[in-house]
């Protein structure tokens, strides 16, 4: 039987794997380095020396963020205790913070670095933010389908995708970070290393119509195992491998797939050489990161930011994912182990930015699938909707909580509606949309207001792109 084109392509890739490509951790990068021409930026050219970057941390699984940010005013805290039951944190498990213009709040006691950043005006919270198509006011609108609701509410696969695409009305493989890069990537002087850099492989957030992420590891750029760009004395095996690769790269292939793959391989090797050289220097003395999943990744991001001039970067996004937040059981123990790692890594990252003199040019933010039920399932919490997120950086309008932190009162299953935002068990309707949250980040990175609707199709339901006011106000220009 004559093989089909798709079978031939698969066989070709398998044959490459059998002849050495299985030793290429950069295979994903090769496939994703697109050859399509990008969309020209609609923004003004950056001034010399200007640089801005966004760092996205995905806490995959659904962080129980109402134990990360807790009200401390007496009556609000009593409501929190009653709703959370055996999941409520005692006062000694909290660090008090003092947001501007609001009653006192607290963060989990495992997050002292975050508390310090907040109190010093370098961090803020976005309260009760979540995936929305249009504003939803109460549980009646939800139960009677009176409003358009995001696909797959409370579903990991749908919600984690929607946080990365900001398209809750349909399923999409194109992310809002990718759509930003489609517009902004040409601001970078050198296109060898893509604008979007991932520390955790392929992701939807950084995938655009014409761009994809450049995947690296916490140890740096991923290159061809055993390949040397230059001849190395006494390294006969490596020299032979390198010579074979160079020879392959100079060949002209008649087969379109092989030719395209060869071009992408050359692009990936070029990117590797640039990125590896740019990130080789050590960080400034005294900059220390914890040896953890997040710590090692944020350390490499700091090194990439330090090497931005060598990379030719004016605009960048970075993506980190850390799973394990789906705490249907032992939520208190799980958060006590995981939240300190977030706090310590983020605190070290901000100190690194200060040492590099770019704390005002880099903004870090968290996302997660959804919040979790306030009520306990006896040992943990279940999937919910709105939750609280962190923003950190010198450009952050800090020591503030943006959006509306909801009343934590729980509606009874039957009877009067004491809290219109509670759809049941403390699943809160978001009072701030992901679109508003992300649009502010996009504007700060350099997307023009005229292009916001291209990136966030539903934004007009929550915010007018022509407004002189920012979507939320958590970033200083």
Domain spans of the chain, in order of start: 39-224+263-461
List the helix and strand counts (H, then E) for the chain: 14, 13
Rounded Cα distance between 428 and 65, Å, is 12
Rounded Cα distance between 443 and 233, Å, is 51
What's the distance, CA 265 to chain centroid?
27
What pLDDT score was predicted for residue 457?
Answer: 97
45 secondary structure, DSSP code: P
Whose tokens are 């950069």? That residue is 26
Whose tokens are 């005229």? That residue is 450
Region of poorest pLDDT, from 139-153, 261-275, 373-387:
261-275
Rounded Cα distance between 451 and 443, Å, is 9
Contacts of 97 (CB under 8 A, 6+ apart): 104, 105, 106, 107, 115, 118, 119, 399
Rounded Cα distance between 136 and 104, Å, is 28
Q: Please, is 234 exposed, middle or buried when counting C-beta atoms within 10 Å of its C-beta (0-12, 13-18, 19+)?
A: exposed
Query: Helix crossing, 176-184 with 434-445: angle to 10°?
Result: 20
Q: Measuring CA to CA, which residue among 21, 32, 9, 38 is closest to residue 264?
A: 32
Rounded Cα distance between 399 and 119, Å, is 6
| C-alpha separations of 253 from 249, 260, 364 in Å | 10, 9, 44
Mean predicted confidence (pLDDT) in 122-136: 98
Share of the chain above pLDDT 70, in %: 81
CATH topology of domain 39-224+263-461: Alkaline Phosphatase, subunit A (3.40.720)
Rounded Cα distance between 68 and 115, Å, is 11
Rounded Cα distance between 117 and 106, Å, is 13
Rounded Cα distance between 359 and 350, Å, is 7
Residue 335 has pLDDT above 90, yes or no: yes
Q: Please, is 92 exposed, middle or buried when counting C-beta atoms within 10 Å of its C-beta (0-12, 13-18, 19+)?
A: exposed
What pLDDT score was predicted for residue 416?
Answer: 81
What pLDDT score was predicted for residue 260?
Answer: 53
What pLDDT score was predicted for residue 218?
Answer: 95
Mean predicted confidence (pLDDT) in 51-76: 98
Helix boundaries (H) for 110-215: 112-119, 139-143, 156-165, 176-184
398 secondary structure, DSSP code: -
Residue 9 has pLDDT above 60, yes or no: no
* Contact call for residues 132 and 434 (beta carbons, < 8 A): yes
Rounded Cα distance between 62 and 425, Å, is 16
| C-alpha separations of 394 from 79, 315, 357, 359, 477 in Å | 34, 17, 10, 5, 11
What pLDDT score was predicted for residue 2?
Answer: 42
Region of poorest pLDDT, from 75-84, 240-249, 289-298:
240-249
Contacts of 340 (CB under 8 A, 6+ apart): 110, 111
Q: How confident is the model at residue 413 (pLDDT cuts 50, 70, 90)?
A: confident
What letters, b where the CB count within 10 A reaches 16 and e where it falls short, cover 368-385? Answer: bbbbbbbbbeeebbbbbb
Total-model pTM: 0.86
Rounded Cα distance between 132 and 462, Å, is 10
Mean predicted confidence (pLDDT) in 190-206: 95
Enter the tokens of residue 164. Answer: 């990365």
Q: Measuring CA to CA, which residue among 141, 15, 108 is closest to residue 417?
A: 141
What pLDDT score was predicted for residue 417?
Answer: 84
Enter the tokens of residue 386. Answer: 């709105």
Sort strands 362-368 and 52-59 into parallel, antiparallel or unpaired.
Answer: parallel
- Residue 299 bridge partners (DSSP): none
């Amino acid at each position: 039987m004559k093989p089909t084109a798709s079978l031939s392509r698969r066989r070709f890739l398998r044959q490459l794997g059998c002849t050495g490509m299985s030793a290429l951790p950069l295979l994903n990068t090769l496939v994703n380095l697109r050859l399509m021409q990008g969309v020209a930026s609609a923004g003004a050219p950056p001034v010399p020396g200007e640089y801005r970057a966004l760092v996205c941390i995905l806490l995959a699984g659904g962080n129980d963020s109402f134990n990360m940010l807790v009200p401390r005013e007496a009556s609000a805290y009593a409501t929190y205790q009653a709703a959370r039951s055996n999941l409520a944190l005692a006062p000694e498990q909290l660090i008090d913070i003092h947001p501007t213009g609001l009653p006192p709040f607290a963060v989990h006691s495992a997050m002292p670095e975050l508390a310090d950043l907040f109190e010093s005006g370098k961090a803020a919270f976005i309260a009760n933010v979540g995936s929305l198509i249009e504003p939803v006011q109460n549980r009646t609108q939800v139960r009677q389908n009176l409003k358009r609701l995001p696909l797959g509410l409370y579903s990991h696969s749908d919600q984690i995708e929607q946080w990365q695409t900001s398209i809750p009305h349909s399923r999409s493989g194109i992310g809002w970070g990718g759509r930003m890069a489609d517009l902004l990537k040409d601001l970078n002087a050198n296109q060898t290393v893509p604008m979007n850099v991932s520390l955790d492989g392929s992701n939807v957030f950084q995938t655009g119509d014409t761009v994809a992420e450049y995947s690296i590891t916490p140890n740096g750029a991923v290159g061809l195992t055993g390949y040397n760009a230059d001849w190395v004395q006494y390294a006969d095996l490596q020299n032979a491998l390198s010579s074979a690769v160079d020879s392959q790269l100079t060949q002209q292939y008649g087969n379109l797939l092989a030719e395209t793959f060869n071009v992408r391989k050359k692009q990936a090797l070029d990117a590797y050489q640039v990125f590896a050289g740019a990130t080789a220097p050590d960080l400034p003395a005294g900059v220390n990161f914890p040896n953890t999943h997040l710590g090692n990744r944020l350390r490499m991001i700091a090194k990439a930011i330090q090497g931005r001039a060598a990379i030719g970067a004016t605009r960048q996004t970075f993506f980190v994912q850390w799973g394990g937040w789906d705490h249907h059981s032992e939520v208190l123990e799980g958060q006590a182990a995981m939240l300190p790692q977030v706090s310590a890594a983020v605190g070290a990252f901000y100190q690194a930015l200060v040492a590099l003199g770019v704390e005002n040019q880099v903004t870090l933010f968290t996302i997660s699938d959804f919040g979790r039920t306030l009520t306990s399932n006896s040992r943990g919490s279940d999937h919910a909707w709105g939750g609280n997120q962190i923003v950190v950086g010198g450009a952050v309008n800090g020591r503030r909580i943006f959006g509306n932190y909801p009343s934590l009162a729980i509606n009874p299953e039957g009877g009067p509606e004491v809290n219109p935002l509670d759809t049941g068990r403390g699943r809160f309707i978001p009072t701030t949309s992901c679109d508003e949250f992300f649009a502010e980040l996009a504007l700060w990175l350099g997307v023009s207001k005229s292009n916001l609707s291209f990136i966030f199709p539903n934004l007009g339901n929550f915010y007018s792109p022509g407004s002189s006011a920012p979507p939320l106000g958590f970033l200083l220009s």
